[in-house]
Amino acid sequence: MVAATADDQRLARTLGQDLDQLDVIAGGDFLSVDEQTATRWLREYSDEPYFRAVRGVAVVALYDDSEVWQLLGYEGPSVDQGGYVDRGFDDLDWLPDPRIEEYDGEPRPEIITSDTQGADA
């Protein structure tokens, strides 16, 4: 993150201000605050520009890092192998099974379109 500020002066100013703000909130030294308090404050300030920038860098790093892919069970891009439809789009075993239920109640007119009406006729 610090390296990213070398080419982006706006980000460098934001980074400095927001990190300084954490120290102010903590009464001088944010790094000395216990984990529970630090987590609470970080969640409270998670929409500040600095944290949005960190989140943006982290997301790109996760999507670009094949070592992270292995930890998450992601096999990498599938375009060159024909896509995901026939190649494990649902093979992540650490995700819970989706809750899929068939609706058997009365028809809901607010979701009926001309396409669905024609199919029943």
pLDDT digits (tens, 9 = 90+) for 58-99: 888 777 888 888 887 777 777 777 777 766 666 667 777 777
pLDDT at 37 over 50: yes
66: which 2 tokens?
A: 């094949």
The pLDDT of residue 5 is 61
End-to-end CA distance of the chain: 60
Measure the CA–CA gap between 18 and 51, rounded to whole angstroms. Answer: 8
The residue to which tokens 């529970």 are assigned: 36
97 neighbors 41 (Cβ within 8 angstroms): no
Q: For residue range 38-50, what is the model confidence (pLDDT) as tens digits?
A: 999 888 888 887 7
**Which amino acid, one-letter code, is at 24?**
V
Distance CA 1, CA 58 (A): 9
